[in-house]
Amino acid sequence: NEDENAIATAPDGRSAAFGSGTGANDERSSTYFRRLYLTLKGKAYGWSYKFEPDFAGNSTNNGVATGSSNSSRDIAFQDIYISHALGSGDVFIGQMKPFRGMEELTSSNDITLMERPFASAAGTYGGGSSREFQEGIFYKADIRDFLVGASFFDLRRDNTRPTEGIGYNGRVVYAPLHADGKVLHLGLSYSDENPQTNGNDGSDDNIGSAAAYAGRRGPTVVLGTTKDGDHARTLGVEVASEFGAAEVQAEYMLQTVGQGDGARDQDIPAWYVQASYFLTGESRPYKKGEGVFGQPKPASSSHGAVELALRYDHAENKDSNAGCDVAIPASTGANPLPATTVAATHCEASLITAGVNWYVNPAVRFMFDYLKGENDRGFAKDKPQAFTARAQFAF
Amino acid sequence: NEDENAIATAPDGRSAAFGSGTGANDERSSTYFRRLYLTLKGKAYGWSYKFEPDFAGNSTNNGVATGSSNSSRDIAFQDIYISHALGSGDVFIGQMKPFRGMEELTSSNDITLMERPFASAAGTYGGGSSREFQEGIFYKADIRDFLVGASFFDLRRDNTRPTEGIGYNGRVVYAPLHADGKVLHLGLSYSDENPQTNGNDGSDDNIGSAAAYAGRRGPTVVLGTTKDGDHARTLGVEVASEFGAAEVQAEYMLQTVGQGDGARDQDIPAWYVQASYFLTGESRPYKKGEGVFGQPKPASSSHGAVELALRYDHAENKDSNAGCDVAIPASTGANPLPATTVAATHCEASLITAGVNWYVNPAVRFMFDYLKGENDRGFAKDKPQAFTARAQFAF
Amino acid sequence: NEDENAIATAPDGRSAAFGSGTGANDERSSTYFRRLYLTLKGKAYGWSYKFEPDFAGNSTNNGVATGSSNSSRDIAFQDIYISHALGSGDVFIGQMKPFRGMEELTSSNDITLMERPFASAAGTYGGGSSREFQEGIFYKADIRDFLVGASFFDLRRDNTRPTEGIGYNGRVVYAPLHADGKVLHLGLSYSDENPQTNGNDGSDDNIGSAAAYAGRRGPTVVLGTTKDGDHARTLGVEVASEFGAAEVQAEYMLQTVGQGDGARDQDIPAWYVQASYFLTGESRPYKKGEGVFGQPKPASSSHGAVELALRYDHAENKDSNAGCDVAIPASTGANPLPATTVAATHCEASLITAGVNWYVNPAVRFMFDYLKGENDRGFAKDKPQAFTARAQFAF
């Protein structure tokens, strides 16, 4: 009986966050819609809910559609949960991100550069199926200078196979300074995932790390994955600080992927250092209840705010004797090359990203990033470059 | 010119009705989003409309995704119609459920146990493509102690093949007592479907009965289908009564599936008896205009309402000489087994379901069901068990 | 930070525009949902946005589903853009239709007959992937008696492959008379598309013309496409006039498809003449800012408005020596035939469409069209007929 309790539905359409990406080696240029959210959230009888389909899905993201000329679209939900206060915090039932790191948990509307760092689910959980959002039970509490989060989840997202294993995760943040413009943030997280490998339908649900070292339409090196359904264990460390218009943050993630009975585990460390500065003097607001930075309102309503940002990313697997595969997407242009996979004897990638963000107003942001990556394949070096732009409308 | 008449759009987001299902034989445990609706309905110039996409679609429902690790999502619309008053009732043009039985027509938000009975479209129309929602013209009128419904429809849903045949249906309900807590409900329905078998693209649109005898992630026996596009004819009988906090209902459906020229029809009877009782004293409201029961508001706003429920389901095909196929989904866990189909010489299944429902408030309900099924395959008995839970948020 | 700026979201659900189509030769009858839009649009800080998923997608439109009995649904977005005033007009970033002609740019809610003419993207850009909506930057300005539009775009839609080439387009309309009921409209448009043929994944992104000469579920002749990624260039001419309740319009499009180095280009002219008349005396409103006609409000609130319409369509490729393929969808009924492709030595099709529209009120419209097509295949003539109906609810 739906009508009696029609309370507080807040349709919150983030209309479009799209971008034109000029691909690596100037050969993979295209435009695409990166995110097309429709967010519904509300509250009824002390319970909250959030319902957020992303109509852009996975298929358009990585530059090579699965089908032929008309590829079917993949709807991948972001948050889908109901939540209720419990003790000093809130419990969430449904799908959301486990608490695996600072930039990982920052909304895509607020991230400083267009791509998340290697040391986030995009990289550290990028070696297998999408492990960014998971179905389970989550708890988060904001207590004085601390923030604690715990997750227990099925290793699946709403649009992936139903039986992929189980994981748990915890995160503690200590933020002795947490005023806007004066922040000191220290974080520690740990995750343990136990994937199930149901090879019966031809799929492989192992977990592992990858590095897209020239953005979303460039090449990706798969640094290593679990074998035979062995555990993946990931330790994360976060340090961030803001002084007025300047902000510096760094994260380190060490993922250990089990290789099955009798075989030695492999360690895959990934880390980044990122600095950003508002030429127009704003400070990113610090969201104490989430342990992440948000997006400032421009001080000037006429010309908006301008931010410069720089990041260095690095990820490596020294324990792999078999080397690493590098996936290179199809190129475009006059004589296009097909998508290929190249075997590298060495497993290491790094990436420098420099960006300029123009916050026109609180709803509209334009981003411009230059990326220069390096992959030492052992026998040769791949140094792709990319220039990307993004127009974002969110409210 | 859209803006001039923007009248009465009522966004009604049922945020999430998700559940954690522990599968049959403890080997198919998983979580999934069972329903993710977005409902829009409104009225303009004397016409009503309803528009209800279900983003959970079919693919995540039955526990085995179609594709590899990232399966494309299926959006299956529920109701999509426009309607207008006509005589003593209303005519509907679009997609909705034909009037095929009481628990079939009860909203998934209101059903007493997590799965609908064998004697509903889930079972009696479960042998082929989804026949729950159909495209066509529908009429419903509520006249004193009676309720009449008639349907004429294309045998397809919005997400199925376009040319599957034609059907019609009628239902009459007599409810001499229809006050909340004092109900006597007698119903009769009849449906005739004439499927088209267009084997040219490899599909088979025959209609028939099936029984999932351990819930949605357990095994399913296909009890029989039409052959060569012959008719399926289904007679349904409904009896229900409510006395205060107690409610009892039973339905019987007899589906006759034609076997083509010269071959004898097969009869597939399915029936159930269901009883439920509110420990906290509430009565389910009776929806006279639909001929179904709804969901009560908890008498206590602090601890909510608690309901116990029990159902016995049975379905059988005595006329099949060829026996019946049993589809067993892939298992999970350490040494997972692939999905298989087992031939049974006997065509019969039964299921006992015991449930506890906790109505926390009018928007939130938690359901816990225990299922114990039995399938006498002729040469062996399969007795799977399942424990399932569901968290539901609807308003 | 979504909540702070939740301004002016206008959920505008066009509930359902569905139709029952009786196919060519009385053998392809079915019903389907032609369009299922959800439109969100709004304004914030001087920027506008529009976000319009069409849940009916492509898969259900053309009568032959891609998969087996449950075909996955294709979500195809219509408009997705953000826009801002610039000079005398507006600039749009995102996905929308290039300015390629009058009936092409008319909303599907407002078009006079159920199918757009051959001289629109449905025909002139119907020979390859969907080229109706494109991603890019668009500009439109309404200056006294003139309307100018310019487009620069990636040759892809949100649900197609990312690397399909580049195009640009311009349109100028001169409307010396533009009062409702007294309109003279002259238009000129030009488009140049440079497709990329990335044959590496088996797809062919060439651009060309086709003609569905008995509606959406009838046969389609592919009149010609570009080869080897050569240019398609299209010139369009529009003439329209309204005198009271009568309206006449005609468009001519000449598409030239390049055949690669050294080969002669092929010219494919398409044109139509359309006349319509309101028996109830209304005039279609002229939308000066878009250069198209809209839909009138019925003068009578009791019985609505009734419109008669007639159109003749013609398209031809005289330059093809290889002839043209005709795609014939699978038929239905007792002895259905599979989908086939027939080679024709001649490349020409014409279509007469006669329609009656009943505008019940400003939200509800019923349409009834009779179509009689002709395709001279060179060795035989195909003269299919179709009767189609549509119930439309939009506001």
Nearest to B11 among A5, A9, A128 (CB): A9
Q: Do B332 and A196 touch (CB under 8 A)?
A: yes
Is the model more confident about C157 or about C22?
A: C157
Q: Report the residue of chain A nearest B302, measured CA to CA.
A: A45
State how far the Cα of C17 lies from the Cα of B82, in Å rounded to an integer: 10
Contacts of B196 in chain C (CB under 8 A): 332-333, 336
Sequence-separated (6 or more) residues with CB below 8 Å from residue C117: C103, C123, C251, C270, C272, C274, C311, C313
Nearest to A13 among C9, C58, C59 (CB): C9
State how far the Cα of A294 lies from the Cα of A105, in Å rounded to an integer: 11
- Helix, strand, coil shares of chain B, percent, nearest 5, are 5, 55, 40
- Residue C155's nearest CA partner among C192, C101, C201, C186 is C192
The pLDDT tens digits for B343-375 are 899 999 999 999 999 999 888 888 889 999 999
CA distance C365 to chain B (A): 11
Q: SS3 of C297, please?
A: coil
Q: SS3 of B122, please?
A: helix
Mean pLDDT check: name the lowest of A73-77, A302-306, C129-133, C345-349: A73-77
- Residue A325's nearest CA partner among A272, A378, A372 is A378
User: CB neighbours (10 Å) of residue C376?
Assistant: 18
* Domains of chain C, CATH where assigned: 7-393 (2.40.160.10)
Contacts of C163 in chain A (CB under 8 A): 28-30, 63, 330, 332, 336
User: Could you tell me the pLDDT band of residue A23, with boundaries at 50, 70 and 90?
Assistant: very low
One-letter amino acid at C94 equals G
Nearest to A391 among C93, C162, C200 (CB): C93
The pLDDT tens digits for B154-191 are 887 777 766 667 899 999 999 999 998 999 999 999 99
State how far the Cα of C61 lies from the Cα of C72, in Å rounded to an integer: 13
Q: Do C330 and B93 touch (CB under 8 A)?
A: no
Nearest to C6 among A12, A69, A360 (CB): A12
CA distance A217 to chain C (A): 10
The pLDDT tens digits for C168-196 are 999 999 999 999 899 999 999 999 998 87
Q: Report the residue of chain A nearest B59, measured CA to CA.
A: A159
State how far the Cα of B249 lies from the Cα of B113, in Å rounded to an integer: 13
In sign, the C-alpha dihedral spanning B259, B261, B263, B267 is: positive
> Phi, psi (5° rounding) for residue C200?
-65, -30
State how far the Cα of B79 lies from the Cα of B102, in Å rounded to an integer: 17
Residue B113 has pLDDT above 90, yes or no: yes
Residue A219 tokens, joined: 């090449």
Q: Do A75 and C77 touch (CB under 8 A)?
A: no
pLDDT at C333: 55
Q: What DSSP assignment string belongs to A321-371?
A: SS-EEEEE----SSSPPPPEEEEESS-EEEEEEEEEEEE-SSSEEEEEEEE
State how far the Cα of A329 lies from the Cα of A325, in Å rounded to an integer: 13
Residue A272 has pLDDT above 90, yes or no: yes
CA distance A334 to chain C (A): 7
Max Cα-Cα span within chain A = 68
**Mutation target vs A (from B9, B27, B29, B31; most A CBs, 10 A cutoff):** B31
Cβ(A278)–Cβ(A296) under 8 Å? yes
Q: Report the residue of chain C nearest A37, measured CA to CA.
A: C51
Percent of chain C's residues with pLDDT above 70: 79
Show which subunits contact C, needing at least 3 CB pairs below 8 angstroms: A, B
Beta strand pairing call for C30-35 and C16-22 = antiparallel
pLDDT at A96: 93
Mean per-residue pLDDT for C87-112? Answer: 93
Instruction: Give, as one character, the DSSP assignment of residue A379.
Output: S
Residue B10 has pLDDT above 50, yes or no: no
Mean per-residue pLDDT for A257-268? Answer: 91
The pLDDT tens digits for A170-223 are 999 999 999 989 999 999 999 999 887 654 444 457 889 999 998 877 889 999
- Residue C211's nearest CA partner among C147, C269, C286 is C269
Select, from the ranges A329-343, B122-136, B239-253, the one with the highest average predicted confidence (pLDDT).
B239-253
Q: Report the residue of chain B nearest A75, measured CA to CA.
A: B73
Q: Report the residue of chain C nearest B47, measured CA to CA.
A: C364
Select, from the ranges A321-330, B1-10, C237-246, the one with the highest average predicted confidence (pLDDT).
C237-246
Show which subunits contact B, needing at least 3 CB pairs below 8 angstroms: A, C
- Residue B207's nearest CA partner among B167, B162, B237, B262 is B167
Residue A327: half-sphere exposure toward Cβ, Cα within 13 Å: 15
Q: Do C69 and B95 touch (CB under 8 A)?
A: no
Q: Report the residue of chain B nearest C361, measured CA to CA.
A: B45
Contacts of B135 in chain C (CB under 8 A): 18, 31-33
State how far the Cα of B17 lies from the Cα of B388, in Å rounded to an integer: 13
The pLDDT tens digits for B276-287 are 999 999 999 999
Mean pLDDT check: name the lowest of A94-98, B391-395, C31-35, C104-108: C31-35
pLDDT at B307: 98
Q: Report the residue of chain B nearest A84, measured CA to CA.
A: B364
- Residue C245's nearest CA partner among C277, C222, C221, C220 is C277
Q: Do C200 and A364 touch (CB under 8 A)?
A: no
Q: Do C60 and B11 touch (CB under 8 A)?
A: no
State the alpha helices, DSSP H only, in chain B. 102-105, 121-124
pLDDT at A109: 85
Residue A74 tokens, joined: 């993949």
Q: SS3 of B318, please?
A: coil
Max Cα-Cα span within chain C = 68
- Residue B222's nearest CA partner among B206, B235, B236, B208 is B208
State how far the Cα of A226 lies from the Cα of A257, in Å rounded to an integer: 5
- State the DSSP H helix or E strand holding residue B374, giving kind and residue range, or none if neither: strand B364-376
Angle at C29 between CA C28 and CA C35, to 5 degrees: 105
CA distance B75 to chain C (A): 6
Contacts of A339 in chain C (CB under 8 A): 200-201
Mean pLDDT of chain C: 82
Q: Number of A:C CB contacts under 8 A? A: 167
The pLDDT tens digits for B65-89 are 333 333 344 667 788 888 999 999 9
Nearest to C9 among A11, A75, A334 (CB): A11
Residue C63 has pLDDT above 50, yes or no: no
Residue C30 has pLDDT above 90, yes or no: no
The pLDDT tens digits for B217-261 are 788 999 999 888 789 999 999 999 999 999 999 999 999 999 988
State how far the Cα of A374 lies from the Cα of A348, in Å rounded to an integer: 9
pLDDT at B58: 44
In sign, the C-alpha dihedral spanning A215, A217, A218, A221 is: positive
Tally helices (H) and strands (E) across chain A: 2, 25
Mean per-residue pLDDT for A162-173? Answer: 86
Angle at C129 between CA C128 and CA C135, to 5 degrees: 130
Residue B271 has pLDDT above 80, yes or no: yes
pLDDT at C342: 87
